[in-house]
Chain A
Amino acid sequence: MISRQTCGPLLATAFVLLSDPVRADALTSALGTRQSLNVTAILMFLGFVAVSLGVTCWAARQGTSTAKDFYAAGGGLKGFQNGLAIAGDYTSAATFLGVTALVYTSGYDGMIYAIGFLVGFPMILFLIAEPLRNLGRYTFADVVAYRLSEVPVRAIAGVNTLVIVVFYLIAQMVGAGKLIQLLFGLPYVYAVGIVGGLMMVYVTFGGMLATTWVQIIKAVLLMSGSALMSFLILWHFGFSLEALFREAVTLHPKAAAIMAPGGLVKDPISAMSLGLALIFGTAGLPHILMRFFTVRNARDARTSVLVGIHISVLQSAVRSRLRRHCAGLGESSVQ
Chain B
Amino acid sequence: MDPQQIQDLPAFRQLANERTRFGAGMSIGMAAAYFSYILTIAFWPRLLGLPLWNGTVITWGFLIGVGLIALGFVLTAVYVGRANSRFDHLSQRLLEEVQ
Contacts and interface: CB of A to CB of B under 8 A. Distances in A.
Interface string B30-69: 1100110111011101101100000011110110011011
Contact of B68 (A119, A127, A299): A119
A260 interface: yes
A125 interface: yes
Contact of B39 (A241, A249, A272): A272
B66 A261 contact: no
A125 B75 CA distance: 10
A115 B37 contact: yes
Contact of A299 (B42, B65, B84): B84
Interface residues of B, number: 40
Nearest to A280: B31
B14 interface: no
Contacts of A299: 83-84, 88
B14 to A, nearest CB: 16
A152 interface: no
A123 interface: yes
Interface string A229-254: 00000000000011001100100000
A268 B73 contact: no
A272 B56 contact: no
B69 A123 contact: no
B34 A303 contact: no
Given A115-B34, A260-B59, A271 B69 contact: no
B80 interface: yes
Contact of A305 (B65, B66, B76): B76
A313 interface: yes
Interface stretch (A20-28, A92-100, A106-114): A106-114
Nearest to B35: A275
B76 A122 contact: yes
A1 B61 CA distance: 27
A123 B29 CA distance: 10
B9 interface: no
A118 B45 contact: no
B61 to A, nearest CB: 6
B73 A126 contact: no
Q: Which 3 A-B pairs have the closest CB atoms?
A: A260-B49, A275-B38, A271-B42
Interface of B: 19, 23-24, 26-27, 30-31, 34-35, 37-39, 41-43, 45-46, 48-49, 56-59, 61-62, 65-66, 68-70, 72-73, 75-77, 79-80, 83-84, 88
Given A268-B43, A298-B83, A303-B80, 15 more contacts: A114-B69, A115-B34, A115-B69, A119-B34, A121-B72, A122-B79, A123-B30, A126-B23, A126-B27, A126-B75, A262-B49, A265-B45, A275-B35, A275-B38, A310-B73
Interface of A: 108, 111-112, 114-116, 118-119, 121-123, 125-127, 130, 241-242, 245-246, 249, 256-257, 259-262, 265, 267-269, 271-272, 274-275, 279, 298-299, 302-303, 305-306, 309-310, 313, 316-317, 320
30 contacts: A108-B61, A114-B65, A118-B69, A119-B30, A119-B72, A121-B72, A121-B76, A122-B27, A122-B30, A125-B79, A127-B23, A241-B58, A245-B62, A246-B57, A256-B57, A260-B46, A260-B48, A261-B61, A262-B45, A268-B42, A271-B39, A275-B34, A275-B38, A299-B84, A302-B83, A302-B84, A303-B80, A306-B77, A309-B72, A313-B73
